[in-house]
């Protein structure tokens, strides 16, 4: 019997151990080190002493004008892109779940940008905003194309949101499509016979029944927007004058350009807290709504 | 009834137009990738006069396309293999062991999904860097990291799937004298095939396209992955738009081919990954 217990334990660690060790070394230990480093004068130079300095890094973060700019830009970018991605994703889902001949082809098309990495998409759109839009503006005369897309901060944040929407719209569409397909057909037909118009059907039947998909999509879009780095690095690089430098890029620059590793790490801890608080609150609130309906 | 038909036709037309608008960025970079500099300057929107392959040949050479493609393939495939095998082993054991420790370990994997990469990247580079683990600038190092980062979601997905698999088959095999390793390899792993494909696709999309981690860990030119070499290439030749576009098209082609081959699995994977 005793031998059995020993064997079970050996098997347990034999199976769980390998992935657990990599996970601890790559995620847990660096996370703990990061918490500690954010309270020190860490310089990332090997063999340099590391001294505990209390909340000094955090004080510096909140007195840093660039951090405040990045923080605000991140919040604005997140609000715009979460809204755009979900509206477009939901609309596309409504479209491709109608009985269209091109339905499957359209799904394939709308999902395609999602497969391409943010750094490549960022460059593709850099070209479009800088060259193609200018050409379109002069040949069509449409003002929209002539806007200062990358040279003005407000427009550049919208530009990033447009690229993210193009990238993630199809992904979110897939989630809404699954939810929409779960709605019984006869329920919608019955409502139509009772005289409900399209908007009524969306409001009274479709929205409540896809509430769960909303919870998931909001969670995914909020956390991915807060974490957005690649498109920012490729499309605007923070320009003009670091006004579109989102938090993730600011952390990178603080450490690798300004060599302030402790301060950068303190910002990274703040980013973690921000993402945790916002996304957990959102899931809690959305779940509550789901139950009520 | 007739009204409805007309409505559907209008929607169909709208859908096709929207679809064309959606892929128009691809169209525009492809046509420009074939142009000469002179032709590009004359008109960005026109169809190319002749299909010049010069840009592609030059881009392939300047970005070290073949090396970068090979590096991406090695890193992605090996990471996925390890993630699928090691995570499914752990998830199966965690799901079948009813103990406090097993719960604590499982929920640590789940909770870690909230940690953004930026919160661990600086210490990670420090820990794996010179004078410590010395795994920077090796493919082994980055694969190890991908396994660690991929573990959270993968263990979570496998765990959920294992719980829905009836245990009777495993019990029968145990009575027949299977040990744990045989049980896993001969009975359990084959049952996990569909979820393994999902896990591989979700991790694969992310690892293949990842830029930040390789940019921190793979500084040697000959180790660069495709997104990383695209970044260096674009940075160096961005004034030369037609050449830059050829480079971007090259970087996009592999993933589009893969998508057209594995479309169904990809959509299924995305759905399974979103049901958290």
- The residue in chain A having the minimum alpha-carbon distance to the alpha carbon of residue B24 is A128
Put simply, the chain A residues between 221 and 280 with a CB less than 8 A from any chain B CB are 223, 226-227, 229-230, 233-234, 247-248, 251-252, 255, 261, 264-265, 268-269, 271-272, 275-276, 279-280
The single residue listed with the structure tokens 């991406």 is B72
Look at B147 and A101 and tell me if their CB atoms are within 8 Å: no
Note the pLDDT of residue B157.
Answer: 94
Note the pLDDT of residue B135.
Answer: 87
pLDDT at B146 over 90: yes
Which tokens sit at A43? 């310089």
B193 by Cβ neighbours in 10 Å (0-12 / 13-18 / 19+) ranks as exposed
pLDDT-based confidence at residue B166 (cuts at 50, 70, 90): confident
Note the pLDDT of residue B78.
Answer: 98
Residue B71 to residue B220: CA distance in whole angstroms: 12
How far away is chain B from the Cα of A154, in angstroms, using its nearest Cα? 23
How confident is the prediction along chain A (293 residues), in pLDDT tens digits per residue? 456 778 888 889 999 999 999 999 999 999 999 999 999 999 888 778 888 998 999 999 999 999 999 999 999 999 999 999 999 999 999 999 988 888 889 999 999 999 999 999 999 999 999 999 998 988 888 888 888 899 898 999 999 999 999 999 999 999 999 898 888 888 888 888 888 888 888 888 888 888 889 999 999 999 999 999 999 999 998 888 898 999 999 999 999 999 999 999 999 999 999 999 999 999 888 888 776 54
Note the pLDDT of residue A292.
Answer: 56
Show Cβ contacts of residue A9 under 8 Å, excluding neighbours closer than 6 positions: none
Which tokens sit at A28? 């847990």
- The residue in chain B having the minimum alpha-carbon distance to the alpha carbon of residue A107 is B19
Note the pLDDT of residue A38.
Answer: 95
Q: Are B165 and B50 in contact (CB under 8 A)?
A: no
pLDDT at B102 over 90: yes
Q: Does A275 or B132 have the greater pLDDT score?
A: A275
The average pLDDT across B134-145 equals 93
Global pTM reads 0.92
Note the pLDDT of residue A267.
Answer: 96
A75 by Cβ neighbours in 10 Å (0-12 / 13-18 / 19+) ranks as middle
The single residue listed with the structure tokens 């600086």 is B122
Show Cβ contacts of residue A69 under 8 Å, excluding neighbours closer than 6 positions: A242, A243, A245
For residue A110, list chain B residues with Cβ-Cβ distance below 8 A: 19, 22
Note the pLDDT of residue A139.
Answer: 86
Nearest Cα neighbor of B170 from B186, B154, B193, B149 is: B186
HEC string for B210-262:
CCHHHHHHCCCHHHCCHHHHHHHHHHHHCCCHHHHHHHHHHHHHHHHHHHHHH
Look at B94 and A131 and tell me if their CB atoms are within 8 Å: no
Look at A118 and B18 and tell me if their CB atoms are within 8 Å: no
Q: pLDDT exceeding 70 applies to what percent of chain B? A: 99
Residue B130 to residue A27: CA distance in whole angstroms: 19
Note the pLDDT of residue A238.
Answer: 86
Show Cβ contacts of residue B122 under 8 Å, excluding neighbours closer than 6 positions: A34, A37, A44, A255, A261, A264, A265, A268
Whether B134 and chain A come into contact, CB under 8 Å, resolves to no
CA dihedral sign, ordered A138, A140, A145, A148: positive
The average pLDDT across B208-229 equals 94
Q: Does A264 or B164 have the greater pLDDT score?
A: A264
Look at A115 and B259 and tell me if their CB atoms are within 8 Å: yes
Look at A44 and B126 and tell me if their CB atoms are within 8 Å: yes
B13-22: per-residue pLDDT in tens?
999 999 999 9
Q: Which SS3 state, helix, strand or coil, does residue A52 take?
A: strand
pLDDT at B208 over 70: yes
Cβ contacts below 8 Å, chain A against chain B, sum to: 252
Note the pLDDT of residue A291.
Answer: 61
Put simply, the chain B residues between 46 and 85 with a CB less than 8 A from any chain A CB are none
Note the pLDDT of residue B1.
Answer: 61
Look at A135 and B271 and tell me if their CB atoms are within 8 Å: no
């Amino acid at each position: 019997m005793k031998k059995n217990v020993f064997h079970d334990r050996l098997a347990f660690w034999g199976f769980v151990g390998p992935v657990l060790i990599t996970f601890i070394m790559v995620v847990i230990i660096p996370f703990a080190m990061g918490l500690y480093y954010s309270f020190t004068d860490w310089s990332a130079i090997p063999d340099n002493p590391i001294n505990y300095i209390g909340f000094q890094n955090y004080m510096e973060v909140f007195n840093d004008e660039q951090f405040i700019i990045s923080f605000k830009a991140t919040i604005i970018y997140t609000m715009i892109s979460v809204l755009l991605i979900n509206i477009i994703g939901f609309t596309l889902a409504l479209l491709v779940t109608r009985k269209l001949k091109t339905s499957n082809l359209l799904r394939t098309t709308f999902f395609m940008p999602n497969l391409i990495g943010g750094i490549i998409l960022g460059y593709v759109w850099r070209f479009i905003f800088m060259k193609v839009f200018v050409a379109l503006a002069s040949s069509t005369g449409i003002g929209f194309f002539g806007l200062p897309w990358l040279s003005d901060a407000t427009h550049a944040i919208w530009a990033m949101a447009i690229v993210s929407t193009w990238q993630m719209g199809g992904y979110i569409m897939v989630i809404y499509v699954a939810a929409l397909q779960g709605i019984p057909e006869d329920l919608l037909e019955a409502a139509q016979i009772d005289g409900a118009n399209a908007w009524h059907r969306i409001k009274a039947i479709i929205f409540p029944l896809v509430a769960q998909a909303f919870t998931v999509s909001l969670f995914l879009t909020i956390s991915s927007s807060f974490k957005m780095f690649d498109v920012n690095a490729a499309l605007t690089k923070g320009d003009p004058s670091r006004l579109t430098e989102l938090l993730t890029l600011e952390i990178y620059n603080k450490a690798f350009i300004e060599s302030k590793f402790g301060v950068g790490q303190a910002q990274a801890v703040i980013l973690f807290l921000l993402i945790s608080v916002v996304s957990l609150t959102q899931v809690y609130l959305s779940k509550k709504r789901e139950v009520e309906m | 009834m007739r009204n409805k038909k007309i409505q559907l036709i209008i929607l169909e037309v709208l859908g096709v137009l929207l679809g064309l608008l959606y892929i128009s960025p691809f169209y525009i970079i492809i046509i420009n990738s074939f142009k000469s500099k002179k032709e590009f300057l004359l008109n960005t929107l026109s169809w190319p006069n002749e299909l010049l392959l010069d840009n592609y040949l030059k881009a392939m050479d300047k970005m070290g396309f073949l090396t970068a493609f090979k590096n991406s393939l090695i890193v992605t495939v090996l990471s996925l293999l390890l993630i699928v095998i090691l995570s499914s082993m752990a998830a199966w054991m965690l799901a079948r062991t009813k103990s406090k420790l097993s719960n604590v370990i499982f929920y640590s994997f789940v909770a870690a999904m909230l940690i953004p990469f930026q919160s661990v990247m600086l210490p990670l580079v420090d820990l794996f860097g010179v004078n410590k683990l010395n795994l920077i600038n090796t493919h082994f190092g980055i694969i190890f990291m991908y396994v660690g980062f991929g573990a959270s979601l993968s263990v979570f997905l496998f765990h959920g799937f294992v719980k829905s698999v009836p245990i009777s088959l495993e019990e029968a095999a145990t009575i027949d004298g299977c040990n744990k390793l045989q049980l896993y390899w001969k009975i359990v792993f084959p049952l996990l095939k569909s979820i393994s494909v999902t896990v591989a696709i979700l991790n694969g999309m992310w690892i293949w396209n990842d830029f930040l981690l390789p940019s921190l860990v793979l500084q040697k030119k000959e180790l660069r992955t495709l997104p990383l070499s695209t970044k260096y290439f674009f940075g160096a030749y961005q004034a030369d738009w037609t050449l830059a576009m050829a480079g971007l098209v090259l970087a996009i082609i592999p993933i589009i081919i893969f998508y057209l081959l594995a479309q169904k699995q990809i959509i299924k994977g995305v759905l399974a990954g979103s049901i958290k």
